[in-house]
Amino acid sequence: MSISIKGIGDIAKMRIAGRLASEVLDYITPFVQPGVTTDTLDQLCHDYMVQEQGCIPAPLNYAPGGHAPYPKSICTSINQQVCHGVPGDKLLKDGDIINLDITVIKDGWHGDTSRMFSVGKASAQANRLCQITYECMWKGIQVVRPGIHLGLIGATIQKHAETSGYSVVREYCGHGIGRAFHEDPQVMHYGRANEGPILEAGMIFTLEPMINAGRRDIRMLSDGWTVVTKDRSLSAQWEHTVLVTETGFEALTLSAGSPPPPTFIAQ
Ligand code: MF3
Ligand code: CO
Ligand code: CO
């Protein structure tokens, strides 16, 4: 495994790509309402990325080994869908929770981020799952600094998820990112604090924990992309692209509309 170290010029480009990805989420937020289809959200985001931002939507026709090309420009994962939900003609309804996952390519560099949205008014249980998952992501980000083992991130996330009564999906993970969508390392959202490579300044990777209200087991739908919980329990996910700095971390996928970090995060 070789983890690339980004130079200052690369980092400047990644900051731009990261902000643009987050700004797509800012743009689409007011459209996430009961009665809209995920196809409409996909088309709106596609046009915003291409026409307003001059970006390429990275998911469109993305075909990692063994997968058919991904047919849409964003991922829309509703309720028991864990990740990679494919937009379609289904209407969002009051009480749904949905993850929108955006990856842009700007000037050859990738920015990758996702947020949860409640459609209308979601249940208290659904909102708690979204909130704890957000905390899991930020608790993982907060331990990032040169000299730690990568495994500390997963151990930190797993602890918060499991002490909250939830489970961590094992089959999908965060990833290095840069000129390529998915690079080394694989960033597990569970595991042991003293395992894995040692972080160095200039590494860039995503944290994107998928947390289930029920059991951790998943299955794939027949479309070959959409991942759902086996027990049909709700699942939530948040994602940031993060730089390891000399003193800690910098979240690259922030913009004016980003929800504030939890209050436990040192500013
Ligand atoms: N954005 C997802 C991630 O966080 C990957 C989506 S791949 C796609 O890694 F093909 F489904 F879009
Ligand atoms: Co990602
Ligand atoms: Co993503």
> Residue 19 falls within a domain, yes or no?
yes
| CA 140–ligand 2 middle distance (angstroms) | 15
Residue 192 lies in a domain: yes
For ligand 3, the distance from its centroid to the CA atom of residue 17, given in whole angstroms, is 13
pLDDT of residue 71: 98
Residues with CB under 6 A from ligand 1: 59, 62, 70, 75, 84, 101, 103, 112, 206, 208, 225, 239
Distance CA 264, CA 267 (A): 9
Say what the pLDDT of residue 111 is. 99
Range of the domain at 102: 8-254
Which atom belonging to ligand 1 lies closest to the Cα atom of 181? Answer: 9
The whole-number pLDDT of residue 194 equals 98
Q: What is the pLDDT of residue 247?
A: 97
What Cα–Cα distance (Å) separates residue 110 from each residue in 17, 176, 212? 6, 10, 27
Number of structural domains found in the chain: 1
Residue 168: which of 103, 83, 86 has the closest Cα?
83
Minimum CA distance residue for ligand 1 atom 7: 59
Best CA proximity match to 241, nearest among 267, 209, 204: 204
Q: What is the distance, to the nearest Å, from the Cα of residue 248 to the centroid of all Cα atoms in its chain?
A: 20
pLDDT digits (tens, 9 = 90+) for 18-50: 999 999 999 999 999 999 999 999 999 999 999
- What is the pLDDT at residue 1? 65
pTM of full prediction above 0.95: yes
CATH of the domain at 159: 3.90.230.10
Given a cut of 50, the residues of the chain with pLDDT beneath it are: none
Give domain status of residue 106, yes or no. yes
